[in-house]
Chains A and B, each alone.
Chain A
Amino acid sequence: MFYWFLVSDSYLWLVTESQALISEELSEKRWGEQLMSRWLLRKRLLLVFALVIVAVVIGALVFGDIGQISAPAQVVSTWSSYLLLATFVTLVVVTGVVLVSVGALTHRIAEIAARVEQQLASGDLDIVVEADRAPKGEIGRLITALNDLGQAYRLSLQNLARQTDERAVLDLLAATINRTLDLQEVLDTSLRGTLKTVKWDMGAIYMWDDRNDSLNMVSFIGFSEDVVRQKITHRLGEGLIGKSAESRKLLIAAAGEQPSSAMEPDGEGIPVIQISIPLVTVPGQLLGVMEIGSAQPKTLAQSELNLLRTVASHVSLAIDKAQLYTKVSQHAVELEKLVAARTVQLSQAIDELWVALKQAQEADRIKSLLLSTVSHELRTPLATIKGNTSLLIQHHKKIPTETFIEHLKDIDEETDKLTELISNLLEMSRIEAGMLHIQSHSIDLIKILEDAVEAARMRLRDHAIRLEQPVPSLSAYGDARRIEQVLANLLDNAAKYSPAKSLIEVQVEEDDRQVIVAVKDRGRGIAPEHLGRIFDRFYQISASPDSGRHGIGLGLAICRGLVEAQGGRIWVESQVGQGSTFYFSLPTVRDDTLQEEE
């Protein structure tokens, strides 16, 4: 009984200790090790229990017949011997069993570990031990757990690889479509990139036109031209494209269905033939729709849908950016044009201002010139008149009569000069105001030339004046008095600028519908720099040392005004040292474009 008690006691002790050990080990060791510990423990305990019983039976057989024990002392000594023996045997057996069990287990686990190691090294994470080969019990469960773990790990790796692939593909797409800011290039590249990324073979991009409320195809790949023609424009809400745009949702057309029966992808496994993905900006503004299609129905995985959505968001961004850039560029171009236009306007305004300024300066210069010239030209004869008059008043008694008359003549001449000056000024102002009194008629020019030359001969006695008459009479259209005035002025000028006794010639000729009169002198000529301005008012060529002053600079300006008012033209040809020839033309018939004052 005591032996039984001890055996039972030792069993209980072992169970208790084992449980404590298990709980301790479970809490501290990794789950693989824990599994192994639990299995080992149970087997060990059972074996130990069996061995104890075997040991007791063997002990009894070895150490004597239990039934022969009669004396109490004898009984005690016998039982002690049995117990000692049994304990010894038990220890031996337990140790042996444990060693054998542990050895076997270690071998099996090492086998599994080597296999796992080998598979990890080769990257093969498939099943460690096939199901039919897998042992039952703890080792079996260990293998199953390892198989599960390997599979989970393999799936994770597959996911990771797929995500990495997608990321790479997206990066490539993003890089490609972001390489340019040209909208059409972005659209074409986006479409091409998307099809390549999702491995579909047809596609198109439609841009939203808010002015016409339509989606217009702007880029396509894989569609035949007939299809393109049919698909070129979509209304909002119509068909797959229109519905996708309206709902801002990715919609699909299942194989065998009409695109009008667009549907949201619901779960996996539906054969899809067409997908429409809205392209929207971050604030949700519709940019357009990207459509992809396939000749053969395809089954879409959720991950593929996700990839498509991501691709679409990239494409949207790129399009938005390109559109923004296009807008900015257009604005820049418009701004540039505006700036250019304004610059032109400004430069025109500056030019006009410049011209106005020049005119104002010229007007101012002429005014100053007029004032100083007129002032000088008025003061000089006035000085003579005033000086002579005061002289005669002051000293009339002392001045001999001849000298007296000489001074009076000076006064007289200077008075004439003043009168002429004032007449010229008035004439010029009338010409400028367009208030000349011109009375043009059909006239005999030869007669007028004869009269003018005759008058000049009386006036300019120091010069020889010759009139060359090719015909006895020559008809022209003009104001006889004004023509005489012009001729007188030109002859006076010729005399003034040519040496005494030199010849002055007056010639006339008919040319087409005009007559040309020439006054030719043999004077010192006019330098080229003066030729262009000689008919300007107040323009004077500096006088020669020997010829004194030459008036106010209005004579030729008045001549021009008079000739032009009669429909003619005046010009000069001259070379320094060779004399000058002044020409003026007159029409032979009435010029109706000229307004006459009657």
Chain B
Amino acid sequence: MNRTTILVIDDEPKIVRFVKTALSLGGYDVLTAGTGQLALKLCESEKPDLVILDLGLPDVDGFEVLREIRSYTTIPIIILTARDDEKDKVRGLELGADDYLTKPFGIRELEARLQAVLRRLSWSPQPSDLTEFTLHSLEVDFRRHQVRVYGEEVHLTPTEYDLLRVLIQHSGQVLLHSDLLGKVWGEEYRNDLAILRVNVSRLRQKLEEDPRQPRYILTVPGVGYTLATD
């Protein structure tokens, strides 16, 4: 089995050093880049399985790097930054980041988030699970990890795919925010409403005809979300 390759993008050598040590000890292959340019080059040539991205890069804005990577791949991206502004966090998630980690952070937290994202990536349906799901123009083939709208394939990030899967599994039921966060991201995310909202919004952008008047993923104000049954 191929080892998971992680690209660490940060201009602080000391941070890169300890992250690299920790990830190597965890059994990952680690690539590092101190600039956005180098990061984009490596991302294209080395095709890492996951990216840890610092937003404050010396040459290119971290959000730009995120947008660039997201434009051609759905690989998980974890933002790593000293910025703790809510706006930055939401913007990062909106641009397609799967998670957000604020400096300073402990090595265990980094490992936990990394694993959560990778778990969503490597999730495979149990035999008893649904293999196919159809609702109007939306079709999901769980065996092939494929989502289609009006017959056209839609590319979802692992997190988005995982979120859609949980909603389909509980189709017709109202899922509380905290339950959704726990099931998709992990128990430590139960209160992270922003990450849920941003991902629901992105999922709607990809699946719904009119994301402002969704037909599939419905909001239950103050409670959570539910997937429509008809």
**Is A133 part of the binding interface, using a Cβ–Cβ cutoff of 8 Å?**
no
B107 touches A391 (CB 8 A): yes
Name the contact of B104 in the complex, choosing from A387, A545, A547 (C-beta under 8 A): A387
- Using CB atoms, name the residue of chain A closest to B59: A545
Give chain B nearest CB distance to A27 CB in angstroms: 111
The verdict on B157 contacting chain A, using a C-beta distance below 8 Å, is no
Task: List B contacts of A401 (CB < 8 A).
Answer: none
Knowing A376-B82, A380-B15, A410-B14 touch, does A387 contact B107 (C-beta < 8 A)?
yes
Complex Cα gap A380–B84 (Å)? 12
Residues in B neighbouring A390, C-beta threshold 8 A: 106-108
Question: What per-residue 1/0 map shows which CB atoms of A394-410 lie under 8 Å from chain B?
Answer: 11001100010011001
Instruction: Report the separation of the CA atoms of residues A382 and B102 in the bound assembly, to the nearest whole angstrom.
Output: 11
- Interface flags, B43-87, vs A, CB<8A=1, else 0: 000000000000010110000000000000000000000111000
Q: Contact at B104–A385, with CB atoms within 8 Å?
A: yes
Please report the C-alpha to C-alpha distance between residue A382 and residue B106 in the assembled complex, in whole angstroms.
11
Whether the Cβ atoms of B84 and A387 lie closer than 8 Å is no
Q: A388-B18, A545-B58, A548-B58 are in contact. Are A379 and B25 (CB under 8 A)?
A: no
Per-position 1/0 for B1-29, Cβ under 8 A of A: 00000000001111101110110010000
Asked if B133 is at the interface (CB within 8 A of a chain A CB), the reply is no
Residues in B with CB closer than 8 Å to A549 are 11-12, 58
- CB contacts under 8 Å to A, within B88-143, are 102-108, 110
Majority-rule SS of A interface residues: helix
Of B14, B56, B58, B84, which is within 8 A of A414 by CB?
A: B14
For B18, give its contact among A387, A398, A542 (CB under 8 Å).
A387
- A413 beta carbon closer than 8 Å to chain B: yes
The answer to whether B83 and A376 have CB atoms under 8 Å apart is yes
User: Does chain A have a CB within 8 A of B199?
Assistant: no
**How many residue pairs at the A-B interface have CB separations less than 8 Å?**
86
Give the residue name and chain of the A residue nearest to B102 (CB): A379
Q: Is the CB of B11 within 8 A of A548?
A: yes
A414 surroundings in chain B (CB, below 8 A): 14
Expressed in whole angstroms, the minimum distance between the Cβ of B57 and any Cβ of chain A is 9
Is B35 engaged at the interface, CB distance under 8 Å to the other chain? yes
**B25 engages A398 (CB within 8 Å):** yes
Per the CB 8 Å criterion, the residue count for chain B at the interface is 28
Q: Are B56 and A376 in contact (CB under 8 A)?
A: yes
| A543 to B35 CA separation, bound complex (whole angstroms) | 12
Name the one of A387, A406, A543, A547 contacting B15, with C-beta atoms under 8 angstroms.
A387
Please indicate the chain B residues that have their CB under 8 angstroms from the CB of A383 in the complex: 12, 15, 82, 103-105
Q: In the complex, which residue of chain A has the Cβ closest to the Cβ of B13? A: A548
When the two chains form their complex, are residues B106 and A386 in contact, meaning their CB atoms are under 8 A apart? yes
Say yes or no: A384 contacts B14, CB within 8 Å: yes
Minimum CB–CB distance for B58 against chain A, Å? 5
Write the chain A residue with the least CB distance to B35.
A545
Considering only CB atoms, which chain B residue lies closest to A409 in the complex? B14
Residue of B nearest to A398 (CB): B25
Smallest Cβ-Cβ distance to B26: which chain A residue: A395
Bound state CA distance, A414 and B22, in angstroms? 19
Contact A407 B21 (CB under 8 A): yes
A413 to B15, CA, bound (A): 12
Q: Which of B11, B12, B22, B58 contacts A391 (CB 8 A)?
A: B22
Chain B residues closer than 8 Å to A395, beta-carbon distance: 21-22, 25, 107
Query: Is the Cβ of A407 less than 8 Å from the Cβ of B104?
Result: no
Q: Tell me the bound Cα distance from A390 to B11 in angstroms.
A: 21
CA distance A237 to B162 in the complex (A): 113
8 Å CB contacts to B: which residues of A127-148?
Answer: none
Decide yes or no whether A348 CB sits under 8 A from chain B: no
Verify A413–B59 contact, CB threshold 8 A. no
Is the Cβ of A380 less than 8 Å from the Cβ of B21?
no
Are the C-beta atoms of B59 and A387 separated by less than 8 Å? no
Given A376-B83, A383-B104, A385-B104: A399 and B21 interface contact (C-beta under 8 Å): yes
Q: Which residues does chain B contribute within 8 Å of A543, judged by CB atoms?
A: 58
**Chain A residues within 8 Å of B19, by CB:** 387
CB-based contact A407/B18 at 8 Å: yes
A391 touches B21 (CB 8 A): yes
A239 shortest CB reach to chain B, Å: 92
Interface string of A487-502 (1 = CB under 8 A from B): 0000000000000000
Complex Cα distance, B58 from A91, in Å, reads 156
Residues of chain B lying within 8 A (CB to CB) of residue A379: 82, 84, 102-104
When distances are taken between beta carbons in the complex, the residues of chain B under 8 Å from A542 are 58
- Please give, as numbers and ranges, the residues of chain A lying within 8 Å of B11 by CB-CB distance: 548-549
In whole angstroms, how far apart are the Cα atoms of A329 and B18 in the complex?
A: 85
A531–B9 Cα distance when bound, in Å, is 32
Q: Which residue, of B14, B22, B37, has the highest number of chain A Cβ atoms within 10 A?
A: B14
Residues of A within 8 A of B83 (CB): 372, 376
> How distant is the Cα of A542 from the Cα of B56 in the complex, in angstroms?
12
Minimum C-beta distance from B88 to chain A (A): 10
Indicate whether A544 reaches chain B with its CB closer than 8 angstroms. Answer: yes
When distances are taken between beta carbons in the complex, the residues of chain A under 8 Å from B12 are 380, 383-384, 548-549
Cβ proximity bits B157-191 to A, threshold 8 Å, 1 near / 0 not: 00000000000000000000000000000000000
Q: Chain B CB within 10 Å — which of A386, A390, A394 has the most?
A: A390
Q: Is the CB of B14 within 8 A of A382?
A: no
**A375 on interface, CB distance cutoff 8 Å:** yes
Among A387, A403, A407, A547, which residue has its beta carbon within 8 angstroms of that of B105? A387
Residues of A within 8 A of B103 (CB): 379-380, 382-383
Tell me which residues across on chain B come within 8 A of A547, comparing CB atoms: 58
Q: B112 CB to closest chain A CB, in angstroms?
A: 12
Residue on B nearest A410 in the bound complex, by CB: B14
- The answer to whether A410 touches B17 (Cβ under 8 A) is yes
CB-CB nearest in chain A for B85: A372
Chain A residues, Cβ within 8 Å of B37: 545
B106 touches A544 (CB 8 A): no
Q: Which residues of A from 533 to 581 have beta carbons under 8 Å from B?
A: 542-545, 547-549
Q: Which of B18, B35, B59, B107 contacts A410 (CB 8 A)?
A: B18
Find out whether the CB atom of A394 lies under 8 angstroms from the CB atom of B108: yes
> In the complex, which residues of chain B have a beta carbon less than 8 angstroms from the beta carbon of A384?
12, 14-15, 18, 104
Besides A379-B103, A380-B15, 8 new A-B residue pairs in contact (Cβ under 8 A), listed by A number? A372-B83, A379-B82, A386-B104, A391-B18, A395-B21, A410-B18, A542-B58, A545-B35
Nearest first, the 4 closest Cβ-Cβ pairs linking A and B are A383-B103, A386-B104, A379-B82, A383-B104
List 19 A–B pairs whose Cβ atoms lie within 8 Å, in order of A's numbering.
Answer: A372-B83, A379-B82, A382-B104, A383-B15, A384-B12, A386-B105, A387-B15, A387-B106, A387-B107, A387-B110, A390-B106, A391-B18, A395-B21, A395-B107, A403-B21, A407-B17, A543-B58, A545-B59, A549-B11
Give A contacts to B, CB under 8 Å.
372, 375-376, 379-380, 382-388, 390-391, 394-395, 398-399, 403, 406-407, 410, 413-414, 542-545, 547-549
Partner-A contacts on B (CB < 8 A): 11-15, 17-19, 21-22, 25, 34-35, 37, 56, 58-59, 82-84, 102-108, 110
